[in-house]
Amino acid sequence: MFKLVDVEDVVRIPPEKFGKPLKEVAEEELKSKYVGLVDSSLGYVIDVLNVKIDPVGKIIPGDGATYHRAVFTLLTFYPVLQEIVEGDVVDVQDFGAFVRLGPVDALLHMSQIMDDFIAYDRQREALVGRQTGRFLRKGDVVRVRIVAVSLPKTGGGIGKIGVTAKQPFLGKLEWIKEEVAKLHGGGEG
């Protein structure tokens, strides 16, 4: 789930950036601190928006920088357990596929793709169901449910997300259309 989170922080403006527009420097400093951060309470921080900076700063003895209070908004992606999302398959390996969900790739393990024996076809670079003949490869769009989320407690690491497509109306979008058509007696759904 994408979220906008309002944040307040103090920004250090280094002396070498004095003379440049304060708002631009503050935004640059905040982006270097927050963008790319992965945290258990925020999720994945994508961008810093709507920066409002106090023009009056403080000086700390022994440090030539100024410190300014800033209020801003973070654009984040926070994966929620049981959430149903769509993403692009960005890589296929012999153990499963990686699905791009916003700013992060989730693992769709081969045991979670469909109710069929699945083999990796190296020539087609695809995961193929033995009985159904259905295949999954890079570039396919899938609808999946988030079943595992592991985000670091502090701002380090990348976190891990596990997903499943092994439930009704989940999987490759073409498969879902086929399921819907069967429900409607073969007509378009």
pLDDT in tens, 155-164: 667 789 999 9
CATH, range 2-77? 3.30.1490.120
Task: Give the mean model confidence (pLDDT) for residues 136-156.
Answer: 88
What are the tens digits of pLDDT across the range 72-128?
A: 999 999 999 999 999 999 999 999 999 999 889 999 999 999 999 999 999 989 999
Residue 45 three-state SS: strand
pTM of the model: 0.79
Hey, what are 89's tokens? Answer: 């398959």
- DSSP 3-state assignment of 156? coil
Please provide residue 148's backbone torsions phi and psi, each rounded to the nearest 5 degrees.
-150, 130
Task: Calculate the alpha carbon distances from 163 to 17, 128, 152 in Å.
Answer: 45, 18, 18
pLDDT at 152: 79
Query: Cα separation of 31 and 8, whole Å?
Result: 14
DSSP class of residue 78 equals -
Quote the CA–CA distance of 92 and 126 in Å, as a whole number. Answer: 6
pLDDT recorded at residue 96 = 94
Which helix H or strand E contains 180, and what residues bound it?
Answer: helix 173-183
Contact 113, 135 (CB under 8 A): no
Question: What spatial distance separates the first Cα and last Cα of the chain, rounded to whole Å?
Answer: 27
Q: In the chain, what are the domain boundaries? A: 2-77, 84-183
Mean pLDDT over 167-185 rounds to 89
pLDDT class of 189 with cuts at 50, 70, 90: very low
The alpha carbon of residue 138 and the mean position of all alpha carbons in its chain are separated, in whole angstroms, by 18
At the topology level, CATH places domain 84-183 in: OB fold (Dihydrolipoamide Acetyltransferase, E2P) (2.40.50)
